[in-house]
């Protein structure tokens, strides 16, 4: 019963733009994306001490407003039939 909570539903407006490219018969690929999330009432799992030393409890709480912004970049090069280079980069 100590862990029983009710949270408001979260609402999200998300925006994303990206590009995928293939060069030299798809031997080289460069993909990228940028995104932005606007949350209202984002839900989080919060911890707290249970009464009488009963351990740790969890309940769901809302953050009134939150934002997440980021970008991703992916590169792949097929150098030979047996050798491929891949790298990824992400930013939040």
Tens-digit pLDDT profile for the chain (92 aa)? 666 778 899 999 999 999 999 999 989 999 999 999 999 999 999 888 888 888 898 889 999 999 999 999 999 999 998 999 999 999 99
Domain housing 54: 11-91
Domain assignment present for 56 = yes
Domain assignment present for 6 = no
Q: Residues with Cβ < 8 Å from 12, sequence gap 6 or more? A: 37, 38, 39, 40, 42
Question: Would you state the pLDDT for residue 3?
Answer: 66
Question: Would you state the pLDDT for residue 1?
Answer: 67
State pTM to two decimals: 0.70
Domain assignment present for 39 = yes
- Tally of domains within the chain: 1
Domain assignment present for 42 = yes
């Amino acid at each position: 019963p100590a862990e029983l909570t009710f949270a408001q539903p979260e609402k999200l407006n998300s925006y994303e733009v990206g590009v995928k490219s293939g060069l030299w018969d798809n031997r080289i690929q460069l993909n990228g994306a940028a995104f932005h999330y606007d949350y209202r009432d984002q839900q989080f799992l919060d911890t707290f001490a249970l009464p009488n030393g009963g351990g740790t409890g969890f309940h769901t709480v809302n953050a009134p407003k939150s934002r997440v912004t980021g970008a991703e970049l992916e590169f792949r090069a097929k150098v030979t039939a047996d050798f491929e280079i891949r790298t990824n980069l992400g930013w939040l």
